[in-house]
Structures are given as structure tokens and as C-alpha cells.
């Protein structure tokens, strides 16, 4: 086990162990699990997906049982004590950026935060739609009417008054546009993923696609 430099106050978190002498060491087995969790999250796995995977692998959770929870995974991913002994600063920051990216809370008019929609790590449109005004990704939002739209993340967080030229786009319109663009009879996520780099949304709501280099090459050939 590796000794940890610095001072740890209070209870030692998952991934570390304190000897009777008071010295804090890295628990190599738990540290491997911590790194695995960070890596799977960055690959696109959801909190629930990671929890299910660890439970199926019979890996002991921080609470000491074999059943992991979304809350446990979320808490672990947000813990800065893993830096730099278990997780590099770069990887930790990437995870925090990804957590913000996946955040789907929208500030309502009365100042209460509410869920806009449930994040889907498998949604091929996540990370594909980009705001032409500020360059930030669009988020999937479910309106009270049940209609699903995509909206600039900065507009979601800071309001329409600041990001007034970031239009919301109905998901149905996005899917229809992509099908016509790629000549698809029906929406096919693998084809979208292989073909498109981004779709920029300008202030008038026009969708401007950027193809992946390999797709451009296939067209030329």
C-alpha cells in the first residue's frame, strides 16, 4: 500500500485506509475500483449503470455490502480527496465537467430548481447539438406539455435574457432533419454517430451540420 502525504481529517473515505499509527495509505483494491468508476463515467456510463455493473461484479461498496447505489457513485465522483493519490487532477476535472454537462436542472421563475429531463447516456443527440451563439452543448428538455426540445445549456442555467439568441429546437425536428440529411428511412443512432461531428444551431434555428472526416471521404469516393 502507498502512503499518502498530507493531512486527512475525520473519517477516511473509500479508497484509503488508516493504520493504527495514524498513517493513511491507499487501499490498492478499492483504488482500482475508484479509477474504474471514473473511467466508466467518462466513457458515457450513467450512475445507475455503473452501480449495476459493480453490484453484478460483487464488488464491496463503501457501506460494506455488495449493492451499490447511484448516490454512492455520485458522491465518489465528486470527492476531491482522490486527487492526486488515486485519480489525476486532469481526470477529476473532466469528470466534474461531464457532471455539469449532464446536469438537467433548470431554474424556474420562482427560484426553485426542478428536473428538466432525465439524462440518457445512450442518447446519440447528447453532445451533438451545439449552440451557434456560445458554442455550448444543447440539453434535452421536457416541457410541461410533454414536448421534448433541445436547448442551449447556458440558456438553461442563466436564462433567456442573457442568451436570447439560442432558440429551442423540437426533438422531432432534429430527427427529421438528420433523416433527410443522411437519407435515412428511419432514425438510426449508429449511422448518426458515425457520420456527424456536430450540428450547430444558429440564432434563427437553422441547423448546420459538420460531418466527420471519414464520412466526407466516403462521399468523395
pLDDT score for 200:
93
Cα–Cα dist 152/141, whole Å? 10
Record the pTM.
0.49
Q: Which domains does the chain have, with CATH numbers?
A: 2-101 (3.90.1750.20), 103-220 (no CATH)
* Tens digits of pLDDT across the chain (221 residues): 566 755 455 678 999 998 888 889 999 999 999 999 999 999 988 888 899 999 999 999 998 888 999 889 999 999 988 998 999 999 999 998 888 877 644 333 444 344 444 444 447 888 899 998 888 899 988 888 888 899 888 888 777 666 667 888 998 899 999 999 988 888 888 888 888 999 999 988 999 999 987 544 344 43
| Cis peptide bond prior to 55, omega within 30° of 0 | no
Amino acid at each position: 500500500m502507498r502512503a499518502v502525504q498530507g493531512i486527512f481529517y475525520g473519517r477516511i473515505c473509500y479508497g484509503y485506509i488508516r493504520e493504527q499509527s495514524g498513517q493513511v495509505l491507499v487501499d490498492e483494491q478499492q483504488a482500482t475500483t475508484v479509477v474504474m468508476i471514473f473511467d466508466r463515467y467518462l466513457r458515457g456510463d450513467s450512475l445507475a449503470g455503473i452501480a449495476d455493473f459493480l453490484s453484478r461484479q460483487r464488488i464491496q461498496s463503501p457501506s460494506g455490502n455488495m449493492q451499490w447505489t447511484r448516490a454512492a457513485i455520485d458522491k465518489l465522483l465528486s470527492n476531491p480527496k482522490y486527487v492526486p493519490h488515486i485519480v489525476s487532477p486532469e481526470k477529476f476535472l473532466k469528470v466534474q465537467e461531464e457532471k455539469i454537462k449532464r446536469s438537467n436542472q433548470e431554474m424556474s421563475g420562482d427560484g426553485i430548481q426542478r428536473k428538466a429531463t432525465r439524462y440518457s447516456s445512450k442518447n446519440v443527440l447528447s453532445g451533438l447539438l451545439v449552440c451557434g451563439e456560445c458554442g455550448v452543448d444543447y440539453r434535452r428538455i421536457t416541457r410541461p406539455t410533454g414536448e421534448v426540445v433541445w436547448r442551449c445549456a447556458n440558456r438553461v442555467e442563466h436564462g433567456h435574457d442573457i442568451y436570447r439568441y439560442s432558440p429551442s429546437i423540437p426533438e422531432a425536428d432534429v430527427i427529421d432533419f438528420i433523416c433527410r440529411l443522411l437519407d435515412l428511412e428511419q432514425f438510426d443512432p449508429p449511422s448518426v454517430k458515425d457520420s456527424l461531428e456536430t450540428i450547430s444551431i444558429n440564432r434563427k434555428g437553422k441547423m448546420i451540420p459538420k460531418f466527420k472526416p471519414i464520412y466526407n471521404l466516403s462521399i468523395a469516393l
